[in-house]
Amino acid sequence: MTAAVTAGRGLADDVRVDGRENGGRRPDPEVEPKARRRSFTAAYKLRILTEYEAATSPGAKGAILRRENLYSAHIVEWRKAREAGALSGLSKPKGRPPVDERDRELEKLRAEKDRLEKE
């Protein structure tokens, strides 16, 4: 079933009413299905901070921000993080540290001891 809906000022919009999600239309390929927050690596932040602080000519700092699609708030937060020493810690790999071989062997021996005591 198709219905013409007037969307103000005489514009017509062909809206499908068939019970399907999005009216059976294909999603727009230009729009991501779910918005994601941008994330920047520590190396990138340090590189941009160095370049930004080295810029001396009028308008150079703004040009860097426009080129990288950043805001001055990014620079402020990254400076604070750098001064607090947080950017150096960001380069470490994420996740748990690998288990020490001695700890693994100790856990194995404890489990074997418990099993033998139960017997």
DSSP β-bridge partners for residue 4? 14
- Predicted pLDDT of residue 74: 93
Of 79 and 27, the one with more pLDDT: 79
Q: Is 70 exposed, middle or buried (0-12, 13-18, 19+ CB in 10 A)?
A: middle
Domains in the chain: boundaries: 39-93
Cβ pair 64, 52 in contact under 8 A: yes
- Predicted pLDDT of residue 9: 53
CATH architecture of the domain formed by 39-93: Orthogonal Bundle (1.10)
Q: How many CB atoms lie within 10 A of CB 5?
A: 10
Residue 75: pLDDT above 90? yes
- Predicted pLDDT of residue 92: 64
Residue 15, H or E segment: strand 12-16
pLDDT, tens digit, for every residue of 3-19? 555 544 555 545 555 55
pLDDT, tens digit, for every residue of 15-71? 555 555 555 667 667 777 787 888 888 889 999 999 999 998 889 999 999 999 999
